[in-house]
Chain A
Amino acid sequence: MIQPHRSHTLFLAFLLHRISGLLLALFLPIHFWVLSLTLTAPNEFDSMLAWSDNSFVKLAEFVLVFLLAVHIFGGLRLIALELLDWNSGQKTAAASAVAIAVFVSGIFLLRAI
């Protein structure tokens, strides 16, 4: 359970940013390894592509695109807060970052299915 003093928008934004960052750090090496197969082992890459066609993998990819988008836009919000002296409406900005991430990853999912 999230402790009472942590249940507010900007703390949840912090949590989302941390978790998405950690998951991306775990996922991205695998992602680049798979991409490297195109050069080193094209056959294996093809079978990987075929495997990635199933819907579970598609859903997982949707989650990953969401994580990436939410980390990018959430990160832009923090950079703007700290470097640009743009600091009114932080809660709205954090919520918008999530909304844009849902939008971007939603389009990705719709195109994938």
Chain B
Amino acid sequence: MQSETVKMNVSVWRGNRRDGGYLSYKVPMEDNQTILDVVTWIQHNEDPTLSYRFACRVGMCGSCAMMVNGIPRWTCRTHVKKVLKDNAIKVAPLRNLPVIKDLATDMDRFFDNWNKAGGVHHSDQTRNDEIELIDPNKPARKIVDAGIECINCAVCFAACDTVSGNDQYLGPAALNRAWTLVNDEKDADRPGILDLVSGNGGCHNCHSQGSCSEYCPNELDPMVAIAGLKRETMRHLISQGKTDA
């Protein structure tokens, strides 16, 4: 087939935390091909030492995100045709995270922030309690539903310039998670979450630049979630002031 002989120029970032650079590869073009396919082709045919992460290949696990031509993307669901520019593609590890090797980053800061933002379920019930029924049509529940399909891919984290400029900042995904819990009737420590997200590095650092919402592959809207947290934390502060007085 003729299309197999057409090749594109792919440059891939190779190296570790301290040094590295871009190496170029010629990769045969296919009719249907994702960026993850391209990276895999290089590993299978050019250099088996190329390191990168993936698992599900269908946009569920969130492990395959990389910078593609300067934009953070889930590579298993990014088609080459969509991003190819002048027959070239540049693939790099996610921004804002330290590189371990090649395309694999150290995601500790990203995941640690989930806990720092109170992103675990706080329960006040036991297994013996009746399961509470939550009406799916309640406004608060709809807010939760809009934000829970996060796959922890860190695309938003890599897109955010507040994350780059402030290493205390919790980042869009962790704050988005906190917002879903603040609206979750079953969470028993919602004021505690508001305290965690209003401190240093919390929601008030966000400049509403919206890069998170622009690139989130699951079309979540962390910017709007963070605006919600700003509002709720202010309301919380004011009502606290009233009860203290």
One of A8-16, A33-41, A62-70 at the interface: A8-16
Contact status of A14 and B208, CB under 8 A, knowing A5-B159, A82-B227: yes
On whether the beta carbons of B70 and A10 are closer than 8 Å, the reply is no
Q: Which residue of A lies closest to B160 (CB)?
A: A5
B71 touches A4 (CB 8 A): yes
Within the complex, what minimum Cβ distance (angstroms) separates B217 from chain A? 14
Give chain A nearest CB distance to B86 CB in angstroms.
14
Of the candidates A5, A78, A81, the one whose C-beta lies within 8 Å of that of B72 is A5
In contact, A14 and B215 (Cβ under 8 angstroms): no
- B230 close to chain A: CB less than 8 A: yes
The residues of B that contact A11 with a CB separation of less than 8 Å are 209-211, 214
User: Does A54 make an interface contact (CB < 8 A)?
Assistant: no
Contact residues of A between 1 and 28, Cβ < 8 Å to B = 3-6, 8-11, 14
Q: Mark B211-237, 1 if CB is under 8 A from A, else 0.
A: 101110000010110011011001000
Give every chain A residue within 8 A of B228 (Cβ-Cβ): 85
B224 engages A87 (CB within 8 Å): yes
Structural contact, A10 and B95, CB atoms closer than 8 A: no
Binding site secondary structure of chain B: helix
Q: Which residue of A lies closest to B158 (CB)?
A: A5
Q: Mark B69-85, 1 if CB is under 8 A from A, else 0.
A: 11110000000000000
Query: Which 9 A-B pairs have CB atoms at the shortest separation, nearest pair first?
Result: A4-B70, A10-B210, A14-B209, A87-B224, A8-B214, A82-B227, A11-B209, A82-B230, A81-B227
A interface with B by C-beta (< 8 Å): 3-6, 8-11, 14, 78, 81-83, 85, 87, 90
Interface pairs (21), CB distance under 8 Å: A4-B70, A5-B71, A5-B72, A5-B211, A5-B215, A6-B211, A8-B210, A8-B211, A9-B210, A10-B209, A10-B210, A10-B213, A11-B214, A14-B210, A78-B208, A81-B208, A83-B231, A85-B227, A85-B231, A87-B221, A90-B210
